[in-house]
Structure 1
């Protein structure tokens, strides 16, 4: 492996920041979807779509 392709080391907080954000968004979407009607349902749908969108973005960038 050359020096230019070396991946910098990151701490646990940097590695787990995005998964933690996605868990909180999903949890908020589930709670919002169960407790509200009208605009909360739209917000819940958007929050629950975030993990899928992030997965698709990373999958498409990898190819």
Structure 2
């Protein structure tokens, strides 16, 4: 491997690391919305839990900043 291909590889892993958590929060939100619209009982509870994840992540991020 030459230096240029290693730099590209590092950039890709850096981008993947940066967008991993937001992508997971997006998928959790979409899954929560779909479950909330389509299910009753346990799916409703699961949808609340999934939709709570982005809120908890924001609270954690603000608390960590201080």
The TM-score bracket by the shorter chain reads 0.7 to 0.9
Q: Specify the structure having the higher radius of gyration (Cα).
A: 2
TM-score by length of 1: 0.83
Unaligned 5+ segments in structure 1 are 1-8
Unaligned 5+ segments in structure 2 are 1-10
TM-score by length of 2: 0.79
Count of residue correspondences: 55
Quote the RMSD (CA, aligned, Å).
Answer: 1.3
Ranges of 4+ aligned residues in structure 1 off by more than 4 Å: none
Structure with a larger share of its residues in helix: 2
